[in-house]
């Protein structure tokens, strides 16, 4: 059985902090491009309809507008939209530099100007080959600008735990065991008393010297959550 493709990358920021980035592959990036292309196409149609009555002058303005939208639409959104065009934002993607810092003007300009090369010989053929051959799915524009497209970080909802006296577990717990205790404690308010006791009984051996197993687990959960 082949191992699952791991797109997580550990990156050290200039401040010395290590962060994990999940690199986006060709499929979500293609979908994001399709959304952005649809938005630009609607804008083109609207401009064409509005300028059609102005004759040659309208045609000139339309060509300038086409150029501006095609080349500066992604640049402006990536610089002022936290690295995400509307299409990327819809797919939960963003552009950052290789070291995890937000993309700036130079990076956004370079990666988007080189889209013309990535498009060769047709429909982003070079860009697709480059993404499939590089570790971080980089097209030629990303290689030149030292950028990468990653998934946006999702905010972790606050953990609400029932009231209990924090107490340290009597044995060393693995990360999985700590996560299981926290998950149990978070679910307690939505469970019946019988179900709570049934689940708590599974780990009765961990709760040494505790008459009420569920209360002991809740105390461990609050301690694991950082309360003392």
- Flag whether 104 is in a domain: yes
Q: Is the pLDDT of residue 36 over 90?
A: yes
- Flag whether 1 is in a domain: no
- Flag whether 170 is in a domain: no
| Residue 147 sits in the same domain as residue 179 | no
pLDDT, tens digit, for every residue of 77-103?
A: 999 999 999 999 999 999 999 888 889
- Flag whether 17 is in a domain: yes
Instruction: Report pLDDT for 80.
Output: 93
**Based on the structure, what is the number of domains in the chain?**
2
- Flag whether 164 is in a domain: no
Kindly state the average pLDDT of the residues 4-33. 76
Buried/exposed code over 124-139 (b: 16+ C-beta within 10 A; e: otherwise): bebbbebbeeeebbbb
On whether the CB atoms of residues 161 and 186 are closer than 8 A, the answer is yes
| Residue 50 sits in the same domain as residue 125 | yes
Domain with 206 in it: 175-224
| Residue 21 sits in the same domain as residue 113 | yes
Count Cβ atoms within 10 A of the Cβ of residue 173 and give its class: 0-12 exposed, 13-18 middle, 19 or more buried.
middle
Q: How far apart are CA 31 and CA 12, in angstroms?
A: 29
Show the CA angle centred on residue 20, arms to residues 151 and 17, nearest 5°.
130
Average pLDDT, the chain: 84
Instruction: Report pLDDT for 207.
Output: 60
- Flag whether 188 is in a domain: yes
| Residue 203 sits in the same domain as residue 137 | no
- Flag whether 162 is in a domain: no
More confident: 187 or 107: 107
List strand residue ranges (DSSP E) for 6-82, in order.
Answer: 8-12, 18-22
- Flag whether 2 is in a domain: no
Count Cβ atoms within 10 A of the Cβ of residue 207 and give its class: 0-12 exposed, 13-18 middle, 19 or more buried.
buried
The predicted model scores a pTM of 0.66
**Which band of pLDDT confidence, cut at 50, 70 and 90, is reported for residue 3?**
very low
| Residue 15 sits in the same domain as residue 124 | yes
Q: How far apart are CA 158 and CA 225, in angstroms?
A: 11
| Residue 179 sits in the same domain as residue 147 | no
Kindly state the average pLDDT of the residues 203-228. 72
Per DSSP, the three-state class of 31 is helix
Instruction: Report pLDDT for 94.
Output: 95
pLDDT, tens digit, for every residue of 135-173?
A: 899 999 999 999 999 998 765 667 778 888 888 887 787
């Amino acid at each position: 059985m082949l191992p699952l493709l791991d797109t997580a990358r550990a990156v050290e920021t200039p401040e010395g902090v290590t962060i994990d980035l999940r690199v986006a592959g060709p499929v979500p990036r293609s979908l994001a491009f399709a959304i952005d292309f649809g938005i630009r196409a609607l804008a083109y149609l609207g401009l064409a309809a509005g300028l059609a009555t102005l004759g040659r002058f309208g045609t000139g303005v339309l060509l300038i507008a086409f150029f501006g939208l095609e080349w500066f639409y992604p640049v402006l959104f990536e610089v002022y939209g936290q690295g995400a065009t509307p299409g990327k934002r819809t797919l939960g993607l963003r552009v950052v530099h290789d070291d995890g810092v937000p993309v700036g003007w130079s990076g956004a300009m370079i990666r988007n100007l080189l889209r013309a090369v990535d498009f060769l010989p047709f429909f982003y053929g070079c860009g697709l080959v480059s993404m499939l051959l590089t570790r971080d799915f980089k097209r030629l524009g990303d290689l030149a600008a030292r950028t990468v497209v990653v998934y946006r970080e999702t905010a972790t909802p606050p953990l609400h735990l029932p009231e209990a006296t924090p107490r340290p577990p009597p044995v060393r717990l693995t990360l999985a065991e700590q996560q299981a205790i926290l998950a149990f404690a978070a679910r307690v308010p939505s469970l019946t008393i019988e179900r709570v006791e049934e689940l708590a009984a599974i780990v009765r051996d961990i709760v040494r010297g505790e008459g009420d197993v569920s209360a002991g687990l809740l105390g461990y959960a609050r301690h694991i959550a950082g309360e003392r």
